[in-house]
Structure 1
Amino acid sequence: MGLFGRKNSSTATSTIEVDPALAALSGTYTIDPSHSSIGFTVRHAMVTNVRGSFADHEGTLILDGTNPATSAASIDVRIASVDTGIADRDDHLRSADFFDAEQFPLMSFRSTEAQELGGDKYRMVGDLTIKGVTRPLAIDLEFNGTATDPYGNQRIGFEGSAEILRSDWGLTWNAALETGGVVVSDKVKLTFDISAIKAA
């Protein structure tokens, strides 16, 4: 059974079976940035991948263990915190060529729909805003479970991913290669590894 229970199709009318332990997970959770990561992978020079992450982010998850469609997510990422391990490259990403972090300091996601895909797999659909452009995004997630940490906090964990075309959000900078192709791929994979703490 998944996080949100399951439909019982054996009856004439559709009902929801709810596991009390899973229903108890319902509530508001704050993302713990020190134990979470939001990252990306993009092809460079057509032959290798560059990976990076955003260290400064915050967000809230609202989980409903009896009605998954009312679950929601809200995440804000500070663009200036981008880190690919190369300072010059990070500065370029912050510049107007890419994110223009001075004018558009935040990347944000606001969910509009939650879907249960079966087992521990879910999809969060919503709006992603980058550089002042808002477009739809679907994030596929897997529920990693719940635990009480040594400080008495109830935690939940999710990991997930999504693919976007950066040009859809106005991130169009590129340079041609002598051998053909371009320096930076248009396709970007976003990754999410989330640990969140339930509000008291």
Structure 2
Amino acid sequence: MGLFNRHNDDAAATAPVSPDLAALTGDYTVDPSHTTLGFVARHAMVTNVKGQFREFTGTLHLDGSDPSKSTASLDIVVNSIDTGSADRDGHLRSADFFKTDEFPTMTFRSTAVEAAGGDDYRVTGDLSLLGVTKEVTIDLEFQGAAKDPFGNERVGFEGRGEISRSDWGVTWNAALETGGVLVSDKIKLRFDISAIKNA
């Protein structure tokens, strides 16, 4: 039995809740120092450029008795984007892309979760960026729970998704002489999340 399951009244009535799962119920704070919110974009049709956002806050509510009621919330400082190139990061912060002076924050608010088999789950939510809100779906794998050496109760997730940046009005590009464009419209999302249970 995993962390998130599709709500099913009949199943809930006949299947006991795992004590281990029930013990995870509570509110959690995402730990930025052990979490990566990353992305991958295709560049010049030949290679991938990876990046991440360095500054963010997030909370999780996990319900072990009815996991479908679990929720997630993230607030990301867009200006903290880091692709390993100062020039590229500056361009991404500009009016061509994220317009960080006008829209400093990107947010995600979950709206539903469902089981996808084993430790795999699907989280649907609203991603707000550049004044536009669109629904996105993230595939999550529950990595487990443990108490760290400092006494913190932690849970971990690994996540993947894919979006089209043009859905949020991020359309800047440049044509290549050999055909195609400089930056892909499709952006792959990659997450490694560690969260600490609130006292």
Q: TM class, shorter-chain normalised? A: over 0.9
Residues 1:31 and 2:30 aligned together = yes
Aligned with 1:167: secondary structure?
Answer: helix
TM-score (norm 1): 0.94
Counterpart-to-counterpart distance in 2, 1:66 and 1:4 = 10
User: Secondary structure at the residue paired with 1:69?
Assistant: helix
The amino acid across from 2:139 in the alignment is D
What is the aligned partner in structure 2 of residue 92 from structure 1? 91
Higher mean alpha-carbon deviation, 137-146 vs 114-123, is at 114-123
The CA deviation string for residues 89-139 of structure 1, in whole angstroms up to 9 with x for no partner, is: 000000010000110001110011111122111111110011111000111
User: Do the aligned partners of residues 101 and 75 (structure 1) sit closer, same or farther apart at CA in structure 2, a change above 3 Å counting?
Assistant: same
Q: 2:151: which partner in 1? A: 152
The aligned counterpart of 1:119 is 118
- How high is the TM-score relative to the length of structure 2? 0.95
Q: Who is 1:71 aligned against?
A: 70
d(CA) in 1 for partners of 2:5 and 2:164? 34
**Paired position in structure 2 for 1:106:** 105
Unaligned 5+ runs, structure 2: none
Distance change in 2, residues 1:12/1:4 (3 Å): closer
Aligned residues: 199
Partner of 2:50: 51
1:12-37 Cα shifts (integer Å, max 9, x gaps): 99534310111110100000000000
Which segments of 5 or more consecutive residues in structure 1 lack a partner in the other structure?
Answer: none
Distance in 1 between the 2:14 and 2:101 partners?
51
Cα distance in 1 for residues equivalent to 2:183 and 2:103: 21
